[in-house]
Amino acid sequence: MLASCDEPLRTAFDLALVDLDGVVYRGREAVPHAAEQLLAAGSVGMKISYVTNNSAREPAEVAGQIRSYGLPCRDDDVYTSAQSAARLLTDQLPRGARVLPIGGPGLRRALDAAGFELCSSAAEQPAAVVQGFWPELTWRDLAEAAYAINAGALHLATNLDAAIPDARGIAPGNGALVNAVVAATGKQPLASGKPRADIFQQAARHHGARRPLVIGDRLDTDLQGARAADMPGMLVLTGITGVHDAIEAPPAQRPSFVAADLRDLAHAHPAPEAVEGGWWACGEAVATVQQGELRLASRTAPGRARGLHQDMAVTLDEWRALCAAAWHHTDTGGEAVKPPRLRLDAGREG
């Protein structure tokens, strides 16, 4: 279930482990309100670290982009899936093993720093292929990966994100390109980065955090990773995931807090509570599942329940109540609830 926090999240937690694509920026453009809210969180003592599944760029380059929005950021405040992949590979292969990187300079730098010998072709008989996202990858790069894997090389993906948000919309991610190699080899890769717990745990240890909070826009990476690391997670709607996606989230991907954007770091977050008649309430909003359908009402007028419809706007408290009703229904043996596409009514307080 959703968690309760009776003070602003930015004072209740000592470290924010923040995703980048879809949370802080989309492509080169900053997400609205992100920089000002992270600055405000830092001003009250919350440390900020950035945890990204993007392996293409080096931490220094990523940190430079973050600083361009007016945010303080050291290079070691950035943790990438390339670094996570290199650490995972050290458990699989001896130092100095030959590795074929399929990705950008950030991936190559991380593998080199971990002591692996980098090669450029399957003909060099690499022990592993490490594949990360890079916009300049070509068919020939994917073909070399397939040749090496079919010859016996280990396949490690820095992440399996099928899609990524950018300034123009939603674009294919590393997982889509990994699937092209899988189609040619028939072999599923190992994967690093989110939703593995270690990338969050390493960042939290580095900052000496006792109460870390994961913030992300994806259920299957950010929020599942938060659950795996046993850390509370806040879902924001500025990237991939929508209101309706969270309502039907499986237990392993459920957020502890739901939010419109990073402005909700400045707010307390009430948790829904069970009330009479099988309803779940948050503020004035109440929700339940009747005959397999979600219904909403007001706490003062529960008899005037209404169903959900496509592109319906809901308040933050209504969203919380809907999550609680749907999750309780499925967790107690009911069939999964499929809500229509919903949006958050940004003009109304939850």
Per residue in 120-143, pLDDT (tens digit) is: 999 999 999 999 999 999 999 999
Per residue in 249-301, pLDDT (tens digit) is: 999 999 999 999 999 999 999 999 999 888 999 999 999 999 999 999 998 88
Instruction: Answer yes or no: 19 catalytic.
Output: yes
The residues facing 287 across adjacent strands are: 280, 296
Q: Which of 6, 21, 222, 264 is catalytic?
A: 21
Residue 70 domain-assigned (yes or no): no
Instruction: Answer yes or no: 77 catalytic.
Output: no
Q: Which of 6, 14, 19, 77 is catalytic?
A: 19
Give yes or no: residues 89 and 184 share one domain.
yes
Give yes or no: residues 291 and 334 share one domain.
yes
**214, pLDDT greater than 60:** yes
Contact predicate 133/174, CB 8 Å? yes
For residue 346, the model assigns a pLDDT of 64
Query: Domain end: 250, 266, 282, which one?
Result: 266
Give yes or no: residues 158 and 238 share one domain.
no
Residue 240 domain-assigned (yes or no): yes
Between 169 and 184, where is the model more confident?
Answer: 184
Give yes or no: residues 293 and 329 share one domain.
yes
Residue 258 domain-assigned (yes or no): yes
Residue 75 domain-assigned (yes or no): no
CB atoms within 10 A of CB 159: 30
**Domain span holding position 122:** 82-191
Give yes or no: residues 166 and 232 share one domain.
no
pTM: 0.88
pLDDT, mean over the chain: 94
Where residue 218 sits, what CATH number does that domain have? 3.40.50.1000
- Look at phi and psi of residue 15 and say left if phi exceeds 0, alpha if psi is from -120 to 50, else beta: beta
Measured distance CA(213)–CA(211) in Å, rounded: 7
Residue 66 domain-assigned (yes or no): no
How many structural domains compose the chain? 3
Residue 73 domain-assigned (yes or no): no
Residue 65 domain-assigned (yes or no): no
Give yes or no: residues 239 and 296 share one domain.
no
**341, pLDDT greater than 60:** yes
